Amino acid sequence: MTGSWPASPAQQGMWLTERAGVAGRAFHMPLAVWLDGPLDVTALGEACEEVARRHPVLGGVLAEDGGELRVVPHAVPPMREGGDLQEELAGPVDPVEGPAARFTLIREDAKRHVLLFQAHHAVFDGESKDILLRDLAAWYGGAAPAPLAATYPEVAIEQQVRLADALPDARRYWQDRWQDQRELRLPGLTGVSVAAAPGSALDFVVEDLGGLAERLEVTRFEAVLAAFVALLHAYGNARPAVGVDLSTRTERSRDHVGTFVNELPVIGAPEGDTFGEFARNLRGDLRRLYRHREVPLARAVDGIGPRAALTPVSLSYRRRPETSPLFPGLGTSVEWMMFNGWVRNTLHLQVVDDQAGTAARLQYNPALLDRTGAERIREHLVMLLTAVAADPEAPLDRLPLPGPVPAASAVTAAAVTVKDGPVDADLVREIQAIFAKELELDEVEPDEDLFDLGGHSLTITQIMARTQERLGVELSFEVFIDDATAMGIAAEVARLREQAC
């Protein structure tokens, strides 16, 4: 595919999750900027086009090519004018069919407009919000940003090289650390999930986070994470697992819009006599984790199938730059934490920190966690953060922590589709050989699951390509979600052959 480049591990994981049908709208990332004053609509539309040309990943779609998943650049649609903001928020962004990103201008009155940008997470991340609006404001004002130090394809290929180099160490690091926890205790909890679903949200403000972090000699992110882990432990979770979003940006990619983030789990119980001691111990654990921040967990360990989130509970933290984008002649306000109405798991804590303060939001799945329970979690977290801000070295057993709550139902593995009828033994052995080759194993048993053997989205595309090449059968991606074993794939090949006769 001329002009395309290899998909990153994060993009491969999102593609797999989308194809598995467990993503919903959880990976849709909206950003709204209110513009007050005499807006030059033509200049804004041209600025949107310039930004899309500067950042070609925004028009990228994910496509298979000979067993490899690649990003193929396409044009981002021109800025269109829309009506109701909530209706526009429900509009699609699709990294497979396209478009993966789009601009919509909504007129509220003659001197007040809303520019709504929406993108799929496969082409956009939290830090991309600042980059996009900075570049957009520059072009609107007639001053083009400085040229990028590297093209996006160059950055993507460099990332692949670093990943390959880092993979062996990451596998050793995670070998005895990762446990796919299936149980969770929270107030008001009736179930646990790592699949996307319609969600609800509760907002609040964190006071004096900077002062707390400074007194603890940790970062603001580490201070929030320490409090969140301590609260989860107090609820009765022996070793809480919290999925955290870590930036993978480098000097070469810092000014690029795109997906430069990796979700990894932080697992462990509070250690130390005081909160400050625990926070500093956690800081040390995170420093060891950071050495492997670019390697997706699904590449480092076996058995992680398609899911919208690694863990039932997660946290994202973003420290924003000190200045907001300035559109000449216009008043500007930005909704940096715009909620898309979906959650990727059971409970997610989102924190955005800037000069205006620390905004926080609890996103939760209301089908599994009732609003009263979510409000209690918010209250407990605010009380805990207030207490440690007043006395960072307070003993853990003297903090205002709640008592344990009853355990919720455990997550159960998805049922595997069983295909009826005998399958030719030679065909099964042929599929076993394909599995073994692409997984780089000596042999694979007929009933061994692809994901348990270390397979991932790229492995699936390679097996699909190899099966078509050797057996003349074009498999659908969905069959691997139903039954990712050599026996199951062989049964599907037999069915397709019979159907073609």
Q: DSSP string spanning 53-68?
A: HH-GGGGEEEEEETTE
Decide: 37 and 330 in contact? Cβ < 8 Å. Answer: yes
Joined tokens for residue 489: 């794939």
At the topology level, CATH places domain 166-398 in: Chloramphenicol Acetyltransferase (3.30.559)
Among candidate residues 440, 462, 453, the one with its CA nearest the CA of residue 484? 453
pLDDT at 418 over 50: no
Burial (0-12, 13-18, 19+ Cβ within 10 Å), 34: middle
| Percent of the chain residues topping a pLDDT of 70 | 95
Phi, psi (deg, nearest 5) at residue 204: -160, 175
Phi, psi (deg, nearest 5) at residue 312: -65, -25
Q: For residue range 130-187, list pLDDT tens digits in order.
A: 999 999 999 999 999 999 999 999 999 999 999 999 999 999 999 989 988 778 999 9
Q: Which CATH number fits domain 425-500: 1.25.60.10, 3.10.20.740, 1.10.1200.10, 2.60.40.10?
A: 1.10.1200.10
User: Who contacts 278 (Cβ-Cβ below 8 Å, separation ≥6)?
Assistant: 226, 230, 270, 271, 272, 396
Could you tell me whether strands 80-82 and 241-247 are parallel, antiparallel, or unpaired per DSSP bridges? unpaired
Q: What confidence category does residue 83 fall into, taking pLDDT thresholds of 50, 70 and 90? A: confident
> What pLDDT sits at residue 454?
80
DSSP states of 291-334 as a string? TTTTS-HHHHSS---S-S-SSSEEEEEEE--SS----TT-EEEE
Q: For residue range 279-320, list pLDDT tens digits in order.
A: 999 999 999 999 999 999 988 998 787 788 999 999 999 999
What three-state secondary structure class fits 102? strand
> What pLDDT sits at residue 1?
58
> What pLDDT sits at residue 349?
98
Strand-by-strand arrangement of the 5-6 sheet: 5-6, 68-73, 60-65
Q: Which long-range contacts (CB under 8 A, 24 or more apart) does 107-115 make?
A: 107/81, 111/36, 111/37, 111/38, 111/39, 112/34, 112/35, 112/36, 113/34, 113/35, 113/39, 113/41, 114/32, 114/33, 114/34, 114/35, 114/85, 115/32, 115/33, 115/35, 115/44, 115/79
Joined tokens for residue 299: 């590449």
DSSP one-letter code for 109: E
What is the average per-residue pLDDT within 440-453?
86
Whether the model pTM is above 0.75: yes
Query: Cα–Cα distance between 397 and 98 in angstroms, integer?
Result: 53
Q: Examine domains 5-153 and 166-398 and report if their fold is the same.
A: yes
Domain boundaries, the chain: 5-153, 166-398, 425-500
Q: What confidence category does residue 414 fall into, taking pLDDT thresholds of 50, 70 and 90? A: very low
What is the average per-residue pLDDT within 65-89?
89
pLDDT at 202 over 50: yes
> What pLDDT sits at residue 412?
37
> What pLDDT sits at residue 312?
95
Joined tokens for residue 7: 């998909």
Q: For residue range 473-482, list pLDDT tens digits in order.
A: 888 766 787 7
C-alpha distance from residue 425 to each of 50, 336, 450 (Å): 57, 57, 19
**Residue 356: Cβ within 10 Å count:** 10
Q: What confidence category does residue 351 fall into, taking pLDDT thresholds of 50, 70 and 90? A: very high
> What pLDDT sits at residue 249?
95
Beta strands in 169-228 (DSSP E): 197-198, 200-206
DSSP one-letter code for 123: G
pLDDT at 417 over 70: no
Q: For residue range 373-389, list pLDDT tens digits in order.
A: 999 999 999 999 999 99
Among candidate residues 126, 56, 114, the one with its CA nearest the CA of residue 88? 114
CATH superfamily of 5-153: Chloramphenicol acetyltransferase-like domain (3.30.559.10)
What three-state secondary structure class fits 98? coil
> What pLDDT sits at residue 460?
82
Joined tokens for residue 448: 């061994």
What value does the mean pLDDT of the chain take? Answer: 90
> What pLDDT sits at residue 419?
40
**Residue 291: Cβ within 10 Å count:** 12
CA dihedral for 82, 102, 96, 318, sign (positive or negative) = negative
> What pLDDT sits at residue 413?
32
> What pLDDT sits at residue 2?
63
